[in-house]
A and B are shown apart, each in its own frame.
Chain A
Amino acid sequence: DAGVIQSPRHEVTEMGQEVTLRCKPISGHNSLFWYRQTMMRGLELLIYFNNNVPIDDSGMPEDRFSAKMPNASFSTLKIQPSEPRDSAVYFCASSLEGSNQPQHFGDGTRLSIL
């Protein structure tokens, strides 16, 4: 079975540029999560969707960040304009709907903003 697929795996770009991260969840999973991982702050939940609808975006750091889920098999996380402090590993995860379902993570996108 295919797991959660994220692209790109690595992204290096200059400050001020727009960055788009992509995620394909596991087929049949109803919930999708975007996380950011840094040494200082650990694993932070940015936003999550249930049945393509954003449920909780309280972790989104600021208006420069936006996320969409146009259909059940695709989601994007966009940063515009990007800043050096956005450098981190961004993970997408998906799970079945319902309480206490395990989250299945992709391998992440390592983002470096110069």
Chain B
Amino acid sequence: QQQVKQSPQSLIVQKGGISIINCAYENTAFDYFPWYQQFPGKGPALLIAIRPDVSEKKEGRFTISFNKSAKQFSLHIMDSQPGDSATYFCAASTGDDKIIFGKGTRLHILP
């Protein structure tokens, strides 16, 4: 019940396309859903986050869509660029310090 399930494991998208990564959870006590981006040789870094009281949050080309009833949320990267190639982690938290991470999606944007 503490898991966050993420798909796909890997994704290849043409430059300019839309990248979509999906996550699902079971624990209804989760109330904070961040996404982290990790480049090779670096640690993950917070990209964007959402709370369950909103259905969508947009920051530049990155959008989180949240479906509370389905217990699902997704990251959309519009106009994907080669510089977006990285590993993306969805995550969830119950509001304490601890964050539960998904297994990650390796995204490759073709030039």
Contacts and interface: CB of A to CB of B under 8 A. Distances in A.
B97 A102 contact: no
Contact of A105 (B34, B41, B44, B98): B44
Given A4-B43, A93-B43, A105-B44, A99 B96 contact: yes
Contact of A56 (B45, B95, B98): B98
Chain B interface: which size bin? Answer: 20 to 34
> Which one of B32, B42, B43, B98 has the greatest number of beta carbons of chain A within 10 Å?
B43
B97 A43 contact: no
Nearest to A40: B103
A91 interface: yes
Interface of A: 4, 31, 33, 41-43, 45, 48, 50, 55-56, 91, 93, 95, 97, 99-108
Interface of B: 31-32, 34, 41-46, 49, 51, 89, 93, 95-104
